Amino acid sequence: MLIRKLSQLANREGPFSIDGVKPLEVDGQDEIGRLCRLIHKVVVAARRDHFEANQLRRTLDHRISKATHLATKKLQQMTMRDPLTDLGNRRFLEENLPQLVRSVLESETDLSCVMIDMDNFKQINDSLGHASGDKLLIALSELIAASTRSEDYAVRLGGDEFAILMAACKPLQAYRFAEQLQVLFRQRIRSILPDQYDVDLSMGIASMRQNGVRDGYLLLEKADAKLYAAKHAGKGRIVGFPPSNSPHAAVA
């Protein structure tokens, strides 16, 4: 009987439970009885350790899974941010533009796009080096981040080109934003560049309603065409629905 019972306990036959470990069915105060009770204590302790180890493993598995999920989410967020300016990048735009457009169409509001390009940026990189160019990009991105609303999408498309998507924003409001950004940028660069360097911002503005589009990428194309017109008109200009009294207005 002793051998059979020990074999059952060793093989963990039956459901696992510390409370389910019953004393060996051997009574008595002789040596065998004492041996049975001692073995019972050893088995209970071993199975308790096994149970606690399983609990610890499940806890660790949960924590590892949670940490992995958070790390993966953070990595995904990092892949959608521009490392230099911390603004959204093209992947961020691709991931969020369709949803933004759907939201605007469903709410029957407007979506304005401000396309931005830095004038004579290549000259700065060629003359003063890429470190100076990076300072300009960072300065502009800081001004954009400080000037936009929390619901706006600010994106660095690449190089010195940026796009701002402003939901529930009329073209005139977007134009006022562009004017303010241009003024702030002109003030900021004076502390970064020597006076002989002429760096400014050219901007193009389009909106879904004013331009009659219902697609986000078409809106970007319209704003980019306005930006090209601003460059062609002499740089340092804003093209797209300007008020009549704007000194740098250029209509395309």
From residue 230, how far is each of 65, 106, 121, 153, 159 by CA, in Å? 52, 32, 16, 22, 18
Catalytic residue among 110, 117, 119, 160: 160
Residues 112-136 have a mean pLDDT of 95
Mean pLDDT of 193-197: 87
Indicate whether 73 pLDDT > 70: no
171 neighbors 204 (Cβ within 8 angstroms): no
More confident of the two residues 169 and 242 = 169
pLDDT at 165 over 50: yes
Of 42-56, 143-157, 178-192, 201-215, the poorest mean pLDDT is in: 42-56
For residue 39, is pLDDT > 90? no
Q: How confident is the model at residue 15 (pLDDT cuts 50, 70, 90)?
A: very low
Q: Which residues does residue 158 pair with via DSSP β-bridges, in sequence order?
A: 161
Residues 6+ apart with CB under 8 A from 168: 104, 107, 109, 110, 151
- Mean pLDDT over 222-230 rounds to 96
The region, left, alpha or beta by phi > 0 then psi within -120 to 50, assigned to residue 120 is: left
Q: Which of 154, 34, 152 lies closest to 87 in space, CA to CA? A: 154
**Coil, strand or helix at 178:** helix
Q: Is 160 a catalytic residue?
A: yes
Higher model confidence: residue 29 or residue 109?
109
What is the C-alpha to C-alpha distance for residues 152 and 145, in angstroms, rounded to an integer?
Answer: 9
pTM of this prediction exceeds 0.75: no
